Amino acid sequence: MNLNADTFWQYSLEIYGRDGVSEQALLLQDEFQVNVNMLLLLCWCLDNGMIVTLNQWQVLHAAIADTDTQLASHRGKRRDAKAASPFNQKAYEALKQEELAIEMQQQEALTTMFNRLTVESVPVKGVNGSVAGFVNLFKLRQQPAAVKRITAVIQSLQAGQ
């Protein structure tokens, strides 16, 4: 199954906007260095019966290394701008828009690499081997708080169907 960058962006906005998902995703990002776009790709895989192995997750992760560094740096600038006194709403909004543009670039890199991989599919939506590979990629097996947050995001997929 081919993954279109625009379709994935729209899917991501829908999932990220669900009750509690953004909070869980940002906590995973800040506390466990989980890439939110990769978390959203995991959701897409679960919704579409695609199984991504640990090795494939590693390839995907490597494909976004540059944009990941850019995002981390930009996110820091945006957070600093939010905490600045006096607060400049216009500058902050510009930084948010720039960050979204980098997020879109990262999703495009993810979808391009995903489409180059040979990804197995299963005829059933829901939890599959992609979750284990994802958890192992980010070294979360011994992190019950992280696993709980991922589980909450996955449950939001089931609630939204």
Q: How many structural domains comprise the chain? A: 1
Q: How far apart are CA 104 and CA 74, in angstroms?
A: 14
Q: What value does the mean pLDDT of the chain take?
A: 94
Q: Residue range 31-37: average pLDDT?
A: 97
Tally the C-alpha atoms within 13 A of residue 43's C-alpha that lie toward its C-beta: 31
In tens, the pLDDT along 106-155 reads: 999 999 999 999 999 988 887 789 999 999 999 999 999 999 999 999 99
> Where residue 161 falls among pLDDT bands split at 50, 70, 90?
low
What SS3 state is found at 49?
coil
Q: Tell me the whole-structure pTM to 2 decimals.
A: 0.93
Q: Which tokens hold the place of 121? A: 């599919």
Q: Residue range 20-45: average pLDDT?
A: 97
Instruction: Please give the pLDDT value at position 127.
Output: 76
> What is residue 141's DSSP assignment?
T
Give the domain range for residue 122: 5-159
